[in-house]
Amino acid sequence: MESLFAVLVGVLVAAGVFLLLSRTIIRVVLGLAFIAYGVNLAILTVAGLRDEAPPLLTLAGPYVDPLPQALVLTAIVIGFGTTALLLTVALRAYQVAGHDDVEAFGDGLARNPDAPDGQYADPEHLSPDQPEADHEARS
């Protein structure tokens, strides 16, 4: 059972990563969703899958481990929040840039590294000097 789910998680994560690397922004969002599915299942799998009762005290024990379930419940909701935010950001980006090609969203960092554009550290040009202050006592 655990081994089967380990393989399934592998498939989900692989699909998620492949989607994450695509050019279409919607697919990037879907990729994250797939990775989230995989991770949720992984958390439960690692805790051990036993043929026991769900953690409802109205039933008779023994019960499965409730703690990973609580963690995953949080993760599902947060995952939804992430998806929703990404989607609206994608929408906004599409409206501003006029396309949804992730590769074409430049961030202005791509530049010639050798160009003297002031982007290297030079101890002599750390900041413009303020006017010289007078520190000597004039008695």
* Closest CB 10 distance from other proteins, rounded Å: 3
* Closest CB 61 distance from other proteins, rounded Å: 8
Radius of gyration of the chain, Cα coordinates, nearest whole angstrom: 27
Q: Does the footprint of other proteins cover residue 126 (CB under 8 A)?
A: yes
Q: Does the footprint of other proteins cover residue 32 (CB under 8 A)?
A: no
What number of chain residues touch other proteins (CB under 8 A)? Answer: 114
**Interhelix angle for 25-46 vs 66-97, to 10°?**
170
Paired tokens of 23: 């050019």
* Closest CB 94 distance from other proteins, rounded Å: 6
Q: Does the footprint of other proteins cover residue 41 (CB under 8 A)?
A: yes
Q: Does the footprint of other proteins cover residue 113 (CB under 8 A)?
A: yes
Q: Does the footprint of other proteins cover residue 8 (CB under 8 A)?
A: yes
Q: Does the footprint of other proteins cover residue 58 (CB under 8 A)?
A: yes
* Closest CB 27 distance from other proteins, rounded Å: 7
Q: How far apart are CA 27 and CA 33, in angstroms?
A: 10
Torsion, Cα of 33, 35, 38, 43 (10° steps): -100
Cβ(52)–Cβ(64) below 8 Å: yes
Q: Does the footprint of other proteins cover residue 60 (CB under 8 A)?
A: no
**Cis amide bond preceding 62, omega within 30:** yes
Go through the chain and tell me how many residues it has.
Answer: 139
Binding to other proteins (CB under 8 A) within 91-110 occurs at: 91-92, 94-110
